[in-house]
Amino acid sequence: MLLEVDKVSRHFGGLQALREVSLTAEEGRITGLIGPNGSGKTTLVHIISGFLRPHAGNIRFDGRPIHNLPPFRIARLGLCRTFQITLNPQRMTVMENMLLGARQQRGESVLASLLYRRQVNREEHENLERAWHLLSMVKLQDHANALAGGLSGGQKKLLALAQVLMARPRLILLDEPVAGVNPRLIDDIVDVIKTLRQQGETFLIIEHNMAVIRELCDTLCVLDMGQVLAEGPVGDVLDREDVLRAYIAAGGQTGPATTPDAASSSQEAPA
C-alpha cells in the first residue's frame, strides 16, 4: 500500500473528531473519502498532509512513518495536495503559477545557479515543457499568459490540478475537486483525473458529488462521526443501507444526478 492510515485519532478539546480511523490508498488507484459534514474528512486530510498532528495512530507513506513530519517534508516525499488556486498569486500568470509548482531543484540559491548553470537551464527547459504539456491536458494552454485571478472557478481547479502535477507527486490528495464548479467543467475535471489514472497516478479524493465518486473511485471509505462506517469497492459501499442512512440523516444525496449542489452554488465567472 502506498498510503496506510492506521488507527488515527484526534480530538479538539472534548470533541473527538477522529476515532481510530484506518484507511489505505493503493498505488495506481483512486480512493474516495466521503462522509456527512463534520464527520472528520478535512481533519484527516490535514493530518495526512502534516498540517495537524494525530493524538494516536500511525501514518505510513510507502512504508515510511510520516505522522511526525512537517508538511513540506511530506510534500517532498511525493504526497501532495491541491490547494484552492485562489490561495495562489492571482496576479501571476497561469504559466508562472505552473512554474511555482515545480519541485525545488538546483538553482534555488545564487551559488548553486552559478555552479550548475547548465543543469539549471536544462531543468528550466524541462519544467517549461512539462508545464505546456500539463496545461494542454487541462485545456488551459490558451490561457498560459492570462492572470490566474481571471480564470473561472472550474478553470482554477484545473490549474490547481495541473500545478500539483508539476512536482511529479506519487499520491495526489484532492479536496472536493468539483465543488462549486460549473457542470460543463465537471466533466473536464473528471476526464483529466481519469486520464491521469490511466497513466498510473494515485489519488485520494474527498468529494460530495456522488456521481463523480461513482465514476472515478476504485475504493471508497465512508466516515461518520469520526469513525469509518464502511470501506471497500465503490459500488458495494454505495449500495450499503447504513451508508445511505448516514447520508439521508445528514441531508446528503447519493443519487447519480448531476449535482444540483454544484449548479446552485456555482461560482463560475466568465473566463
Q: Cα–Cα distance between 235 and 215 in angstroms, integer?
A: 10
Residue 48, C-alpha cell as written in the block: 495526512
Residues 18 to 47 in contact with Mg ion, rule: CB under 5 A: 41-42
For Mg ion, the closer CB: 175 or 201: 175
Q: Are 138 and 151 in contact (CB under 8 A)?
A: no
E strands present in 30-147: 30-34, 56-61, 64-65, 79-81
Minimum CB separation of residue 223 from Mg ion in Å reads: 10
Minimum CB separation of residue 132 from Mg ion in Å reads: 34
Q: Quick one: 110 exposed, middle or buried, by C-beta within 10 A (0-12, 13-18, 19+)? A: exposed
SS3 content of the chain, % helix, strand, coil (to 5): 40, 25, 35
Q: Cα–Cα distance between 53 and 48 in angstroms, integer?
A: 9
218 by DSSP, 3-state: which?
coil
Q: How many CB atoms lie within 10 A of CB 271?
A: 12
Minimum CB separation of residue 3 from ligand ADP in Å reads: 18
For Mg ion, the closer CB: 137 or 206: 206
Q: Cα–Cα distance between 117 and 107 in angstroms, integer?
A: 8
For Mg ion, the closer CB: 41 or 143: 41
Residues 118 to 137 in contact with Mg ion, rule: CB under 5 A: none
- Residue 32 contacts which entry, Mg ion, ligand ADP, none (Cβ below 5-8 A, type-dependent): none
Residue 257, C-alpha cell as written in the block: 444526478
253 binds Mg ion (CB under 5 A): no
Q: Residue numbers of the site for ligand ADP (CB under 6 A)?
A: 12, 15, 17, 35, 37-43
For ligand ADP, the closer CB: 40 or 101: 40
Minimum CB separation of residue 34 from Mg ion in Å reads: 11
Minimum CB separation of residue 23 from ligand ADP in Å reads: 13
Minimum CB separation of residue 164 from Mg ion in Å reads: 19
For Mg ion, the closer CB: 188 or 207: 207
Residues 164 to 193 in contact with Mg ion, rule: CB under 5 A: none
- The footprint of Mg ion (CB under 5 A) covers 41-42
